């Protein structure tokens, strides 16, 4: 058994028994790790508090890791990069729950990937510090595909269709799984931009919904076992106001 210290981002938690949690954290040092946190829901004096394990919270943890063990254990946790708005603003709360669910299905690697960790850390801090965030989730998901290995090949971006399974642009618009027309025009607006410039892009409610459903389908085609997010309808309801 080794005692380790690492930064970590909370992906999801589920209740275990009456007083414990199983938390899935994306860590800077070890990739995705599941932890059993015993008694956290009843303890009021311990070093671990349930509030630390809200989705996307950024932590420093001290943990016990044992090889070939499915559930590791956390000894200490400290919130870092404390959010000011992410868990208080109703719109951002909906984005957080949706993105946490998407990441829970998409990120499976149990090994270090510091570029991915750095991307998540900076992206969520950007979300916390900005108000115009209606397109954030679209660019976040598109950029996430860079780290998962299926970012669109833009070498022929001038073509009029995008083949979702192949991840390439094409002129063969009649083929199955090819996105074309208005949808592809809007999709191209997302390519090559960063979060600071996304505020200048205007999508209608329908365009935003169509793009999001396209991106979800893209994930489904490239990730085995990926499940359609249950929280999608909540997010769409928030952004349709």
What strands, in cross-sheet order, belong to the sheet with 2-16? 31-37, 20-27, 2-16, 58-65, 73-79
Tens-digit pLDDT profile for residues 28-75: 999 999 999 999 998 777 789 999 999 999 999 999 999 888 899 999
- Domain range summary for the chain, segments of one domain joined by +: 2-79, 90-239
* pLDDT of 188 higher than 80: yes
Question: What CATH number belongs to 90-239?
Answer: 1.20.1440.120
φ, ψ for residue 187 (rounded to 5)?
-60, -40
Q: State the Cα–Cα distance between residues 124 and 100, nearest whole angstrom.
A: 11
Compute the mean pLDDT over every residue in the chain, rounded to the nearest whole number.
94
52: which DSSP letter?
G
* pLDDT of 222 higher than 80: yes
* pLDDT of 221 higher than 80: yes
pLDDT score recorded for residue 241: 64
Tens-digit pLDDT profile for residues 194-214: 999 998 899 999 999 999 999
Place 173 in a pLDDT band, splitting at 50, 70 and 90: confident
CATH fold of 2-79 reads OB fold (Dihydrolipoamide Acetyltransferase, E2P) (2.40.50)
């Amino acid at each position: 058994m080794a005692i380790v210290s690492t930064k970590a981002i909370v992906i999801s938690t589920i209740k275990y028994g009456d007083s414990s949690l199983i938390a899935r954290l994306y860590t800077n040092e070890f990739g995705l790790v599941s932890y059993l946190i015993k008694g956290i829901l009843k303890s009021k004096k311990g070093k671990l508090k349930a509030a630390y394990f809200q989705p996307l919270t950024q932590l420093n943890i001290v943990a016990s890791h044992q090889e070939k063990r499915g559930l590791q254990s956390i000894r200490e946790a400290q919130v870092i990069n404390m959010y000011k708005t992410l868990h208080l603003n109703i719109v951002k709360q909906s984005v957080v729950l949706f993105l946490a669910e998407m990441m829970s299905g998409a990120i499976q690697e149990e090994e270090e990937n510091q570029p991915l960790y750095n991307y998540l850390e900076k992206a969520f801090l950007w979300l916390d510090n900005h108000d115009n965030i209606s397109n954030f989730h679209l660019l976040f998901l598109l950029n996430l595909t860079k780290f998962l290995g299926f970012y669109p090949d833009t070498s022929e971006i001038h073509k009029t269709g995008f083949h979702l399974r192949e991840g390439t642009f094409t002129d063969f618009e009649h083929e199955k799984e090819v996105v074309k027309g208005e949808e592809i025009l809007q999709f191209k607006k997302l390519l090559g931009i960063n979060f600071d410039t996304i505020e200048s892009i205007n999508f209608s409610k329908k365009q935003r919904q169509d793009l999001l459903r396209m991106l979800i389908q893209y994930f489904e085609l490239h990730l085995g076992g990926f499940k359609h997010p249950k929280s999608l309808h909540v997010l769409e309801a928030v952004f349709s106001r």
